[in-house]
Amino acid sequence: MPNTNLEITQKAMEDFVKIQRHMLTAKEENATKTYEGLKEEYLYLKSFLNVAGVNLTEIDRIKE
């Protein structure tokens, strides 16, 4: 039986990386509203991954 917690954490990490990529694009394009909307999701995922014990040092490119 697969480890559901591990699958949830993996999905959150994938989403975290994807959100960061979109945030960096929005920042480059000076799309402030888009960036702020993405930032909400970024902070949610970051807090979830911290609680799950994921070390974000290497994958957190935004650092907010």
pLDDT at 1 over 90: no
Three-state SS sequence of the chain: CCCHHHHHHHHHHHHHHHHHHHHHHHHHCCCHHHHHHHHHHHHHHHHHHHHCCCCCCCCCCCCC
Note the pTM of the prediction, 2 decimals. Answer: 0.86
Judge contact between 16 and 53, C-beta under 8 A. no
pLDDT at 60 over 90: yes
pLDDT at 3 over 80: no
List, for residues 12-57, the tens digit of each pLDDT value.
999 999 999 999 999 999 999 999 999 999 999 999 999 999 999 9
Average of pLDDT values for 2-15? 89
